[in-house]
Amino acid sequence: MTNIKHLAIIMDGNARWAAGHNLPKAEGHRAGANKIRELLPEFINLKIPYATLYTFSSENWQRSTIEISFLMKLLSNYLKDELKNLHENGIKIKVIGRLNLLSNSLQKQINNAIELTKNNNKLTLCIAFSYGSRQEIADACTKIIASGKKEVTESDLQNALYDPEMPDVDLLVRPGGVYRISNFLLWQAAYAELYFSSKYWPDFNKDDIHEAISDYSKRKRTFGKR
């Protein structure tokens, strides 16, 4: 058990993992999706109540049509194949991002998954898809303006985010050997501890999660205090 209320992961390195194994990018993304299935039970064992996975960023729309199409199908297949198992294991599904950019059929799948699992309480699995944090904050501001408010508090902005119930990020993990957070949960990760690994996401395993948590547990979090 840990004292982590929110674990956020940037699932980086799928394409480079595939290249290193002389495989097409699609196989790297598929291996990355399989890794979620492997690690979710460990999140539950560790009693981490909320986990957000960065799976498709707003910037990823600039990739090739073929790759984008595959990633859309991958999310669709994941929801189709895994939803029953996720539900039976008490996992609540949330999906955040500009979901209006997705096909109607995929939006319907997402909404069905959210509705089916809404009362589960073992773990909230939040999938950041078609997501960018700057866009989230801009969308929140637009919502607040539309409400007619003239002055905005932090609480107002929090309540206008894609998931107002999302707790602040305690630990943000990025595999893949890249040292940046890439427009991910900028508001929610204001005081997050950051952990980077040179391993690509498809190679990340339970031991790596434990290592990241062990490193986190040794840090003193002061939140600006002494």
Which of the residues are catalytic? 12, 60
- In order of 95, 96, 112, 118, 153, the CA distances from 125 in angstroms are 8, 11, 15, 11, 28
Return d(Cα 157, Cα 73) in angstroms, integer.
33
Cα(83)–Cα(199) distance, rounded to whole angstroms?
28
**Partners of 128 in beta bridges:** 54, 96
Cα separations in angstroms, 19 against 183, 187, 219: 25, 34, 35
